[in-house]
């Protein structure tokens, strides 16, 4: 290319809020990676200080559009920890159902995007087509496709109606053959296997060093899962198992996510079966002085909320840590040594918020001139699939 500098205009047809990876490349292999975040910093923690405890649940819900119930889940856990109370049985079951439903819709969304990065646009269309029934269930039980506003300190905002249960069970059961199809498509397709196995590998030692969480860690055999380690809501009243795979590569992460789809469905079905009667919330009069820590296993990993209150109406300090904060940092280890065309799918394997991988840029190691931008990487990985197929 002529020595033109390619501007990575922030306005691009498919991207949302931008995080930014800059890969230092020596020829084809990635040598180093700069990770810049903060383009979309909305200072939510500052805004939270000006809102009352109840309003913060709505603010915290809008941190990330894809896992929009994980943050209120962890936040309400933190408040329950601060108060030292546990919400009524029925509220715990409702919380578990909403949490697991969101895991299904988030994993399906990721599956579609991974297909898109590997060059299978039909997988993208199909995955997002089978995500619609899950959003229909959400719309029926909570009133909105995302941002469900179901959670409240000390319980849940809305109750489930018994007559919805048969319909929800039928829709969920209808999804299981579709999951089998995806499992078949991903596990048995030689090209996807060849494209994703053995790249972007995180060893167990890396998992400890970078303290990664969620499917990223479970794919390397480290079975950490907040739902099992510190059972909250109804996770100890329902039997399910933590999915782990060894290998640690992109393929293992895909396998973990797909098997978790089945696990989530079976949790929801069990919760629907033995959902107790009773009221769905405690009314909380005042907030004592003190601090509370709440955690939830979001689709991408452990979400951590810390609240400090001085008895007033709004939190003195509200620390939020999304799982991607740790997982994105671990890309430094996962990407180095691989070719650029694999870079996109490795960065996407951590399932960061959708746009991170779009914003990757490749800087030529010697001249430091920008050589390719995020979209080239997407195409490079699509071509590699093409080469593999031939």
Binders of another protein among 103-162, rule CB under 8 A?
Answer: 109, 119-122, 125, 128-129, 132, 145-147
Q: Which is nearer to another protein, 35 or 165 (CB)?
A: 35
Q: Which is nearer to another protein, 81 or 351 (CB)?
A: 81
Instruction: Identify whether the C-beta of residue 312 lies closer than 8 Å to the C-beta of residue 288.
Output: no
Phi, psi of 309 (to 5 degrees): -125, 145
Q: Under rule CB under 8 A, which residues in 54-113 are in contact with another protein?
A: 58-59, 62-66, 68, 81, 84, 109
Q: Report H helices in the chain.
A: 44-48, 53-61, 70-83, 89-118, 121-142, 164-188, 190-196, 204-210, 215-218, 226-229, 250-273, 323-329, 331-335, 340-349, 374-389
Q: Under rule CB under 8 A, which residues in 320-379 are in contact with another protein?
A: 321, 325-326, 329, 341, 353-355, 373, 375-376, 378-379
Longest dimension (CA), the chain: 70
Q: Which is nearer to another protein, 153 or 214 (CB)?
A: 214
Instruction: Identify whether the C-beta of residue 324 lies closer than 8 Å to the C-beta of residue 353.
Output: yes
Q: Which is nearer to another protein, 233 or 280 (CB)?
A: 233
Q: Under rule CB under 8 A, which residues in 169-198 are in contact with another protein?
A: none
Token pair for 349: 């394997």
Q: Which is nearer to another protein, 108 or 275 (CB)?
A: 108
Residue 241 binds another protein, judged by CB under 8 A: no
Q: Which is nearer to another protein, 24 or 165 (CB)?
A: 24
Residue 302 binds another protein, judged by CB under 8 A: yes
| Consecutive H or E run containing 109 | helix 89-118
Residue 306 binds another protein, judged by CB under 8 A: yes
CA distance 83 to 71: 18
CB within 8 A of 251, min separation 6: which ones?
Answer: 192, 193, 196, 197, 198
Residue 297 binds another protein, judged by CB under 8 A: no
CB 40, min distance to another protein, A = 5
CA distance 118 to 191: 10
From 14-22, 155-163, 244-252, 280-288, span contacting another protein (CB under 8 A): 14-22
């Amino acid at each position: 290319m002529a020595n033109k500098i390619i501007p990575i205009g922030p306005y691009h047809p498919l991207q949302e809020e931008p995080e930014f990876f800059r890969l230092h490349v020596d020829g084809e292999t990635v040598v180093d990676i700069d990770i810049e975040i903060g383009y979309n910093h909305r200072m939510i923690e500052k805004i939270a200080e000006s809102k009352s405890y109840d309003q913060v649940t709505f603010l915290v819900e809008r941190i990330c559009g894809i896992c929009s119930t994980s943050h209120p889940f962890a936040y309400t856990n933190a408040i329950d920890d601060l108060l030292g109370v546990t919400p009524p049985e029925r509220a715990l079951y409702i919380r578990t159902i909403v949490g697991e439903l969101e895991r299904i819709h988030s994993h399906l969304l990721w599956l579609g995007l991974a297909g898109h990065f590997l060059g299978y646009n039909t997988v993208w269309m199909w995955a997002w087509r089978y995500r619609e029934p899950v959003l229909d269930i959400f719309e029926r039980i909570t009133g909105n496709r995302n941002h469900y506003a179901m959670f409240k300190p000390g319980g849940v905002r809305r109750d489930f109606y018994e007559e919805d249960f048969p319909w929800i069970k039928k829709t969920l059961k209808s999804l299981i053959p579709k999951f089998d199809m995806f499992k078949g498509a991903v596990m048995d397709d030689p090209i996807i296997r060849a494209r994703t196995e053995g790249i972007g590998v995180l060893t167990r030692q890396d998992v400890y060093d970078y303290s990664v969480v969620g499917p990223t860690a479970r794919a390397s055999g480290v079975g950490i899962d907040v739902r099992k380690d510190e059972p909250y809501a109804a996770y100890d009243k329902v039997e399910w198992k933590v999915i782990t795979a060894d290998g640690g590569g992109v393929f293992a992460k895909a396998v973990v996510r797909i098997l978790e789809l089945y696990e989530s469905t079976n949790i929801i079905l069990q919760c629907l079966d033995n959902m107790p009667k009773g009221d769905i919330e405690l009314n909380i009069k005042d907030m004592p002085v003190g601090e509370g820590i709440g955690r939830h296993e979001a689709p991408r990993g452990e979400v951590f909320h810390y609240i400090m209150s001085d008895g007033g109406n709004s939190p003195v300090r509200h620390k939020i840590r999304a799982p991607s904060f740790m997982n994105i940092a671990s890309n430094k280890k996962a990407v180095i040594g691989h070719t650029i065309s694999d870079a996109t799918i490795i960065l996407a394997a951590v399932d960061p918020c959708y746009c991170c991988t779009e914003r990757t840029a490749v800087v030529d190691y010697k001249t430091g001139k920008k050589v390719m931008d995020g979209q080239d990487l997407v195409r490079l990985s699509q071509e590699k699939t093409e080469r593999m197929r031939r």
